[in-house]
Amino acid sequence: MTEEMTPRQRVAMALAHEETDRVPIDLGGVVTGIHRDAYNRLKEHWGIEEETVLHDFKQQLARPCEEVLTRLGVDTRYVDSGGRSGDSLEVRETEDSYLYTDAWDIEWRMPKDLPLYFDMVNNPMAEWTVADIEAYQVPAAAGAEGLAHLEATARELHENMEYAVVLFGPSSFFEFAWYLRKFEIFLVDMVVNEAFVNALLDKLLASHLAYWEAHLDVVAEYLDVVQVADDLGHQGGPMMSLELFDKYVHPRQKEVISYIKSRTDAPIVIHSCGSIRQFIPRLIENGIDAINPVQVSAADMNPAELKAEFGDRMAFWGGIDTQQILPHGTPEEVAAETRRIIDVLGEGGGYVLNSVHNIQADVPPENVIAMFETAREYRR
């Protein structure tokens, strides 16, 4: 394939497991973004003076400006209905911290002496009962103003530009449930408190479906990719047995994915960190088209093995290591690793390039440029 494609064509063909002129390149999402500090150094490196705008306040992710996206050769453009930027949050300040409380009553804290991102400091449902869950009213999916902005932005991108339009939204059952309940408590719940787990996950299911109904009502026809998320693994292995996944997560995830697919033809990418190999057959069964971030440093996540076992049924999105290579490697090492991953995961299509999760604050601009420049210029 030598004829140059449009970004939209490139992403669509890659996710359909077809060879493309070059590997598609992604940057700018909630889980495929760039930290404010790394972004500011990149702008400084290039002499770009445009103000940094936050796309995700909790993670302190920048919304890359068009000049940066163009210079890096990025094929995707993200749309949203607001709410993540932090503009409407009431941020409190103590002597040593910044704090805010989200719509679900989870409190988040960022220390002043290491202001990288916010971590949760409470779990509002830790002492709740089934009755408390049943009486709970979940937060609204989105406001009319946010949905109008989403529709206008997505339509403009779809009709007047040739980038792949991406919308990120919820499908998190395990991860968000433990946010609310507390990690160790929810793990015990899954074994001994089935009634509570079902009540909580059914509330999340209703909330997720309401979100997708409201958002797809206004942008379904403009989307090229849908991203969802539910972290199921850690560095050393999965965070639950396949039996518990099948009992609690699998059927509810399938319902959300089925609903999204009934409303749009856009391929669906799931973000799930860590060692998730055992879940991939279930993700395929549920209609997932690609997995992100392909955490290559985690157990059982060897990219060559994943490609050989699942590459005919599952595409891959991510894969450039953010633990060692990007922050600590030389630009030459970053370029070599980028070519290696493209060769492995890009064989026969089925790969979109991005870092493993967000580009973190400690990644130097030279390495950011090396990754994207290599991806833009390299031909397998």
Q: Is residue 90 part of a domain?
A: no
What percent of the chain is predicted at pLDDT more than 90?
A: 96
Assess whether the previous peptide bond of 124 is cis (omega < 30° from 0): no
pLDDT grade, residue 2 (50/70/90)?
low
CA separation for the pair 159, 162 (Å, rounded): 8
pLDDT at 204 over 70: yes
Left if phi > 0, otherwise alpha if psi is -120 to 50, otherwise beta: which for 160?
A: alpha
- What is the average pLDDT value for the chain, to the nearest integer? 97
pLDDT, tens only, 225-280: 999 999 999 999 999 999 999 999 999 999 999 999 999 999 999 999 999 999 99
- Laid out side by side, the sheet with 290-292 consists of 76-79, 164-168, 225-229, 268-271, 290-292, 315-320, 351-355
Q: Is residue 108 part of a domain?
A: no
Task: Give the CA count within 13 Å in the CB-facing half-sphere of 320.
Answer: 36
Q: Is residue 12 part of a domain?
A: yes
Q: How is residue 127 written in tokens?
A: 């002492």
Left if phi > 0, otherwise alpha if psi is -120 to 50, otherwise beta: which for 182?
A: left
pLDDT at 83: 85
Q: Which residue has the higher pLDDT, 1 or 232?
A: 232
Q: Is residue 300 part of a domain?
A: yes
pLDDT at 256: 98
| Orientation angle between helical segments 174-181 and 194-219, nearest 10 degrees | 120
How many domains does one find in the chain? 1
What percent of the chain is predicted at pLDDT more than 70?
A: 99
Is residue 26 within 8 A of residue 224, CB to CB? The reply is no
Region 218-224 average pLDDT: 98
**Taking Cα atoms as reference points, which of 244, 265, 109 lies closest to residue 189?**
244
CA separation for the pair 158, 306 (Å, rounded): 33
Is residue 29 within 8 A of residue 76, CB to CB? The reply is yes
Q: How is residue 357 written in tokens?
A: 């999760």
Beta-carbon contacts of residue 93 (< 8 Å; ≥ 6 apart): 99
CA separation for the pair 177, 244 (Å, rounded): 14
CA separation for the pair 14, 21 (Å, rounded): 10
Beta-carbon contacts of residue 353 (< 8 Å; ≥ 6 apart): 23, 24, 25, 26, 318, 319, 320, 338, 341, 342, 371, 375
pLDDT grade, residue 102 (50/70/90)?
very high
CA separation for the pair 79, 28 (Å, rounded): 10
Q: Is residue 20 part of a domain?
A: yes
pLDDT at 1: 45
pLDDT grade, residue 144 (50/70/90)?
very high
pLDDT at 184: 98
Q: Is residue 109 part of a domain?
A: no
CA separation for the pair 285, 195 (Å, rounded): 26
Q: Is residue 202 part of a domain?
A: yes
Burial class for 95, CB neighbours closer than 10 Å (0-12, 13-18, 19+): exposed
Q: Which residue has the higher pLDDT, 334 or 1?
A: 334
Other CB atoms within 10 Å distance of the CB of residue 345: 26
Q: Is residue 97 part of a domain?
A: no
Region 337-354 average pLDDT: 98
CATH number for the domain spanning 141: value is: 3.20.20.210
Region 18-47 average pLDDT: 98
Distance from the Cα of residue 252 to its chain's centroid: 19
CA separation for the pair 26, 72 (Å, rounded): 9
pLDDT at 88: 86
pLDDT, tens only, 297-320: 999 999 999 999 999 999 999 999
Other CB atoms within 10 Å distance of the CB of residue 283: 25
pLDDT at 92 over 60: yes
Is residue 33 within 8 A of residue 55, CB to CB? The reply is yes
Residue-number span of the structural domain to which 179 is assigned = 7-35+66-81+124-377
